Structure 1
Amino acid sequence: MSRLSLILLKLLTTFVIVGAGLWGGGLLLFRLNGALAIMGAIGFGFAALAGLIGIWTGALRLPLGFAVLFLGLLGWWNSMLPSHDRDWIPELAHLPEVAGEGDRITVTNLRHFRWRTETDYDQHWETRSFDLSKIEGADLFLSYWSGEAIAHLLVSFTFSDSLPLTFSIEVRREKGEEWSSLAGFFRTYEMAYVAADERDIVGLRTHARGEDVRLFRLAATSDRARDVLLAYVADVNRLAKKPRWYNTLMTNCTTVVYHLVGSVAPGWAFSLPLDPRVLLSGYLPGYLARIGAIRSDMPLDELIRRGRISERARMLSLDDPEFSQRIREGVPTGRP
């Protein structure tokens, strides 16, 4: 092996060890408790450092030792199994399930809380039926709480004869458990679907949390909206039967929807190429305009401005049966 090839191999191995060291240290830090977590992360960091020294000094026993340690950590990682059986926070205590017969679907465990604050609310879980032959379209809500880059995504299906049916993909936290985006990389949280009334799931964000919520009407025909809804239904039922880990990057409120829509994309007029804005969900409207999923015949800034519904929503009572209709007033339709 030439000297240049050897140096390149050492550099590549260095990057691998650094990546493995950071990942393993994070896993120990977030999955162990207290001082043991700190000690484990530091110890694993020193093992990675020893492996790096061994690569560049020729002491191969050091990187080999780190490799054995890392494989052991991977074994522990693979032994971690998600569960539906934990002491969940009340708003995520139940997962929805959907039964279908002909054109009619019935959603059990549909959430319809009445939020006064994030900690003061009335709990209601309902069973509602929806007629798929009455579906009109689909809308997208983006809720911003910290800057423009990241937003939480909700997809809402509208019907001519009933209130909208809204789905949210969320971190299923246990009581007393805090959310951390970093911890979300290390099998700390399970994933949850929430099926809800808009007065619950949008009202939580506009009224209780005071977030900046923006509404975009999707350019989906009733048939396309039905395809996406049925893709949701199938995945909702899969999750109800088999728990799944949430992952901050790969299994979150945007990427799961991306894959659901991709599963029915052959019947749609636009394709779904990978785009960074799928991960940086706050910038998703620009991507949606480019592929024709929302209005592209008007400036995006104008579409965003007219889609800001928080102020209008906060003027409404969450008991108003016309809440969904009234927050859509002035918001451009999905198609010209």
Structure 2
Amino acid sequence: MRMFVYALLLLALVFAAWWVLQKPSHNRDWADDVAHMLQADVQGDRVTLHNVRNFEWRTETDYTPRWETRQYNLDELQRADLLLSYWMGPKIAHTLVSFGFADGRYITFSIEIRKERHEKFSAWKGFFRQYEAILVAADEADIVRTRTNARGEEVYLYRLEVPPEQLRKVFLAYVNKANALAQKPEFYNTLTSNCTTVVFDMARQIAPGLPLDYRLLLSGYFAEYAYEQGALATGHTYGELHGKGSIVERALATRPGDNFSEAIRQGVP
């Protein structure tokens, strides 16, 4: 029995040493879609985003890469929408937040793993410091369309009820997170630092009273949690918002040259 306890202690020490020795890095052979880190310059109401992704996706492996610099005026920031993309059943979804401006442009933010060329996502590996985190800012015709059209995922869009002064704070929270990650690499963690918990942490900066909830982990139900907190469009039941928020059919019907952002919002409350 004593030898068994010693063996367990030794294994624990080896694991602890391995854990401490894992260091995040910006210097790896990254996959094309996460090759560049988002960086932002803020000058008063003007925000310049460097390395905005705007790929043209034909399939998951056939694409035209484009990285752009874009400028936004925070005085023209009008709305934000929550998107959930399902790829492995109803309990788990990828969380994205898209911001809309007066000129009709949308920019979508997404916390993701920064894959190396040989890597694929594994939720289990995400617990053990195997992936760096990256904050991607992308055109909706890239980051949403690749999920609906190229990957065949189920995607739902919900309009958020966010007062203008808070909307600006959330946008700048994403900008600050991007600059922090560009300055100092961090590990992605499936449990504590993923696409949903980061959104929750930003929201809590504005509304400190937001309660913890199991749906922060079972992210497929995150929209229901947001509805209960009064963050989704009012005057509708959650069932109505969920049913009308499915955008896949409209996304698949778009063609090159169409206004993708406008098309996917048709009929969404």
With the length of structure 1 as denominator, give the TM-score of the two structures: 0.77
Equivalent residue number for residue 324 of structure 1: 261
More contact order relative to length (CA 8 Å, sep ≥ 6):
2
With the length of structure 2 as denominator, give the TM-score of the two structures: 0.96
Correspondence 1:80-229 to 2 at 5 A? 80-229=22-171
C-alpha separation in 2, matches of 1:160 and 1:201: 21
1:324 maps to a residue whose letter is S
C-alpha separation in 2, matches of 1:224 and 1:259: 14
Give the RMSD, CA atoms, in angstroms: 1.3
Secondary structure, counterpart of 1:295 in structure 2: coil
C-alpha separation in 1, matches of 2:225 and 2:192: 18
C-alpha separation in 1, matches of 2:152 and 2:4: 53
C-alpha separation in 2, matches of 1:326 and 1:106: 26
Q: Which digits, 9 at most, give the CA deviation of each residue in 1:190-236, with x for residues without a partner? A: 11111000000011011111211100000012221111001111111
Secondary structure, counterpart of 1:285 in structure 2: helix
Equivalent residue number for residue 241 of structure 1: 183
Unaligned runs of 5+ residues in structure 2 are: none
- CA change 1:97–1:318 in 2 (3 A) is farther
- Quote the offset at 1:65 in angstroms: 4.4
- Quote the offset at 1:162 in angstroms: 4.7
- Quote the offset at 1:318 in angstroms: 4.7
- Quote the offset at 1:111 in angstroms: 0.2
Structure showing greater radius of gyration is: 1
- Quote the offset at 1:315 in angstroms: 0.6
Equivalent residue number for residue 19 of structure 2: 77
- Quote the offset at 1:299 in angstroms: 1.9
Identical aligned residues as a percent: 49
Moved more, 236-245 or 61-70: 61-70
Equivalent residue number for residue 8 of structure 1: none
- 239, 243, 250: which one aligns with 2:192: 250
C-alpha separation in 2, matches of 1:151 and 1:245: 20
- Quote the offset at 1:248 in angstroms: 1.0
C-alpha separation in 2, matches of 1:277 and 1:99: 34
C-alpha separation in 2, matches of 1:149 and 1:65: 37
Q: Is the 8 A contact 1:231 1:261 kept in 2?
A: no
- Quote the offset at 1:140 in angstroms: 0.6
Secondary structure, counterpart of 1:98 in structure 2: strand
- CA change 1:168–1:319 in 2 (3 A) is farther
Greater fraction of residues in strand: 2
Q: Which digits, 9 at most, give the CA deviation of each residue in 1:13-62, with x for residues without a partner? A: xxxxxxxxxxxxxxxxxxxxxxxxxxxxxxxxxxxxxxxxx2xxxx3x54
C-alpha separation in 2, matches of 1:101 and 1:108: 14
Secondary structure, counterpart of 1:254 in structure 2: helix
Secondary structure, counterpart of 2:228 in structure 1: helix
Unaligned runs of 5+ residues in structure 1 are: 1-53
- Quote the offset at 1:251 in angstroms: 1.0
Equivalent residue number for residue 302 of structure 1: 240
C-alpha separation in 1, matches of 2:104 and 2:235: 30
Moved more, 109-118 or 222-231: 222-231
Q: Which digits, 9 at most, give the CA deviation of each residue in 1:265-320, with x for residues without a partner? A: 25xxxx31000011111111211111100135322111111000110111112542
Correspondence 1:255-294 to 2 at 5 A? 255-266=197-208, 271-294=209-232
C-alpha separation in 2, matches of 1:124 and 1:194: 13
Greater fraction of residues in helix: 1
- Quote the offset at 1:120 in angstroms: 0.4
